Amino acid sequence: MNALLAALLLLQAAPAQSEAEKAEAAIKKFGVRKYKMLTQGKEAGTMVLQARVETEGGAKVVVLHLKGDSTIEGKVDGGTIDEKTTLEGLRLLSVRTRTADGKVDEGISIKDGQATVTPVDGEVKTVKVTGSTIGFAAMFLIACVQEQKAGSTFKVDILHFKDLQKDHEFRCVAKETIEIGGKKYDSFKWEQKGKGTIDLPDEDITYKIENFWWISPDGYLLRMTTNEDGKVLNDMILDAK
C-alpha cells in the first residue's frame, strides 16, 4: 500500500508538459546549426539557423535568425532573416530581412489578423493572415517542435514574404537512419505538401511544393530537400563536425 501511495504521489508531481513547454525545450536543444546547401548535387552555399527564447512584455517569444549565402552562376548573394514568433505554434509576430551588406530589405508586422509588408523599394501591402500562420524562418523549425512519431500530422499557413500559402500539411512518414559525413543518425522523416504562388505583373503562377525534412529524436533539423517530380532539386544538410 505504501509503495502504491508513493507511486501516485510521483505521478502527481510530474504533470504533462504543455505545447509551449515542449516547444521551448526543443528550441533550447536546437540552438545554432549550420547547413550546407546543394542545388542539383552541386555546392551552392551555406545557411545558419539560430533559435532562442526571450521574454518581451512579460510573454515568451521565439527569436529566429537565419543567415544564408549562395553562389549561383558564379554570383555570390546572401542575406539575413530575423523573425519573431509565439512560443506556442510558432505563429508569426514580425520579420525583418536584410541584404548581404546589412541594409534593411523588407519588414513585416502582424496586428489584428493583418500582416503589413513594407519593402524598401515597392508598395506597402497588407495581407490577411490566419491563426495558424507561420513565417519563412519558422518553416525550418516547425516540425522540430512536434511530437516525433510516425503518423503525426499538422497543418499551417505560411507567409512567404508577401504571399500567404495556405494549408501546408506536414506528416511524419517514417523513422529512418540517415548518413551525414560518414556518421549515421537516427531521424524522423516528415513530408510537407502545399502550394505556392509566384506573383507576376501579368499573371499569378501556382506551383506544387513537396519538401522532406529529417528531424533528430532530440528535435533539431538534420536534412531538408525540395523536390519536383520525385527528383531532389535542393538539398540542405547539417554541417556535422
pLDDT per residue as tens digits for the range 22-56? 889 889 888 999 999 999 888 999 999 999 999 99
pLDDT at 8: 44
For residue 19, being part of any structural domain is answered with no
For residue 204, being part of any structural domain is answered with yes
pLDDT at 9: 45
Q: What does pTM read for this prediction?
A: 0.86
Q: What average pLDDT does range 64-68 have in this prediction?
A: 95
Handedness of CA 79, 121, 196, 169 (dihedral sign): positive
For residue 11, being part of any structural domain is answered with no
Q: How confident is the model at residue 3 (pLDDT cuts 50, 70, 90)?
A: low
Going by their DSSP bridges, the two strands 153-160 and 133-135 should be labelled as parallel
pLDDT at 119: 85
Q: What is the CATH number of the domain that holds 192?
A: 2.40.360
pLDDT at 172: 98
pLDDT at 103: 84
For residue 1, being part of any structural domain is answered with no
For residue 71, being part of any structural domain is answered with yes
For residue 5, being part of any structural domain is answered with no
Contact between 160 and 154 (Cβ < 8 Å): no
What proportion of the chain, given as a percentage, has pLDDT over 90? 61
* 3-state SS, residue 103: coil
Residue 5: is its pLDDT beyond 60?
no
Q: Of the segments 1-5, 122-126, 216-220, which one has the largest average pLDDT value? A: 216-220
Q: How confident is the model at residue 74 (pLDDT cuts 50, 70, 90)?
A: low
Residue 139: is its pLDDT beyond 60?
yes
**Counted domains in the chain:** 1
pLDDT at 2: 57
Contact between 239 and 204 (Cβ < 8 Å): no
Domain boundaries, position 86: 24-238
For residue 9, being part of any structural domain is answered with no
pLDDT per residue as tens digits for the range 163-212? 889 999 999 999 999 999 999 999 999 999 998 877 667 777 788 889 99
Q: Measured between alpha carbons, how far is 6 from 4 in angstroms, rounded to an integer?
A: 5
CB atoms inside a 10 Å sphere around CB 184: 9
For residue 178, being part of any structural domain is answered with yes
